[in-house]
């Protein structure tokens, strides 16, 4: 004769973990009861889930952790109570422990553990205050009430942390406050009041910078054109001098006894000396009342 199946009450059966526990209990042939706040919820997804429970032969019991009477009534119908409430409702399990103690018919209670060992975990804040310390307090309450219990430690559940990228209470990845800053660019933008290169402040000043760049480019082109024109003029002048120079004749020696490469320098020196003498009121070649020989000339003194 087959042993009679235990009647199992699941508290929090519509949650991330509870729905799987309810389905597994019904699949194993246990008379299963699920405690829910509303048997006809307004949420379409939750309503569809409850319909699937009813189709699998699961009994829905309306109740809440804040309603002590509904808890006691539900607990008296079960042999085993499994709590799968979420993180925010872990402290409220003391109410469920009180209802189990009052009913007095429960053979086994499984609190909402299913994670790390609360008595041996070395979690840091805020996990220590929100989860680890709270679960340890529930353990002490169960032990003090004298309720038969079993702690199930399955490790970390990724269905809790993966949608929130490690955020315990958030169900979505963390987002930046305000507008997301633009990525830096290696070229473009200026440093200054706008911040880094390529940021929004620099982008506002780009039109003015384009005008400055255009003006600098135009000035550079003008300077290049002037240099080119000067180079062409210099080449023209050199060509004209070369054409004016007589061909086929070698430069003659200077009759004044100077080398052919020096006459221009000598003429400049003579002209400068003559100009200084005329300004002083004397004659060319006379300075300070005394005759001085100019380069290339001989001075004859009267006797």
The CATH code of the domain that includes 129 is: 3.40.50.720
Total domains in the chain come to: 1
- Per residue in 204-244, pLDDT (tens digit) is 556 667 777 777 788 877 777 777 777 666 666 666 666 66
Residue 223 lies in a domain: no
Render 155-192 in DSSP notation, one character per residue.
Answer: ---HHHHTTTTT-SS-SS----SSSPPPPP-SSS--SB
Cross-strand partners of 80: 8, 108
Residue predicted with more confidence, 38 or 129:
38
Residue 182 lies in a domain: no
Q: What's the predicted TM-score (pTM) here?
A: 0.54
pLDDT at 251 over 80: no
- Per residue in 78-136, pLDDT (tens digit) is 999 999 998 889 999 999 999 999 999 999 999 998 877 888 888 788 778 878 889 99
Residue 150 lies in a domain: yes
Q: 88 lies in which domain range?
A: 8-161
Residue 33 lies in a domain: yes
Q: Which DSSP symbol is given to 195?
A: B
Residue 12 lies in a domain: yes
Residue 36 lies in a domain: yes
pLDDT of residue 202: 47
pLDDT at 20 over 70: yes
5 a catalytic residue: no
Q: What is the mean pLDDT of residues 61-79?
A: 95
Residue 264 lies in a domain: no
Residue 138 lies in a domain: yes
Residue predicted with more confidence, 262 or 69:
69
Mean pLDDT, the chain, integer: 76
């Amino acid at each position: 004769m087959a042993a009679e199946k235990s009647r199992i009450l699941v508290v929090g059966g519509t949650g991330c973990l509870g729905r799987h526990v309810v389905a597994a209990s019904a699949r194993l042939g246990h008379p299963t009861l699920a405690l829910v706040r509303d048997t006809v919820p307004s949420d379409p997804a939750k309503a569809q889930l409850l319909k699937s429970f009813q189709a699998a032969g699961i009994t829905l019991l309306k109740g809440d952790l804040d309603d002590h009477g509904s808890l006691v009534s539900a607990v008296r119908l079960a042999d085993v109570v499994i709590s799968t409430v979420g993180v925010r409702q872990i402290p409220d399990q003391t109410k469920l422990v009180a209802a189990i103690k009052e009913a007095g018919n429960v053979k086994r209670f499984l609190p909402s553990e299913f994670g790390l060992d609360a008595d041996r975990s070395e979690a840091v804040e805020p996990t220590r205050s929100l989860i680890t310390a709270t679960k340890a307090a529930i353990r002490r309450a169960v032990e003090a009430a004298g309720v038969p219990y079993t702690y199930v430690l399955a490790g970390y559940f990724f269905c809790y942390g993966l949608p929130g990228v490690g955020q315990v209470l958030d169900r979505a990845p963390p987002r930046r406050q305000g507008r997301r800053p633009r990525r830096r660019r290696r070229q473009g933008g200026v440093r200054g009041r706008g911040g880094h290169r390529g940021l929004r402040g620099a982008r506002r000043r780009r039109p003015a910078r384009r005008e400055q760049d255009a003006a600098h480019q135009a000035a550079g082109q003008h300077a290049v054109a002037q240099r080119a024109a000067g180079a062409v003029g210099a080449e023209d002048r050199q060509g004209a001098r070369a054409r004016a120079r007589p061909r086929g004749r070698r430069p003659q020696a200077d009759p004044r006894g100077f080398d052919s490469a020096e006459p221009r320098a000598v003429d400049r020196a003579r002209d400068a000396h003559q100009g200084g003498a005329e300004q002083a009121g004397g004659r060319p070649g006379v300075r300070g009342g005394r005759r001085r020989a100019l380069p290339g000339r001989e001075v004859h003194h009267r006797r």
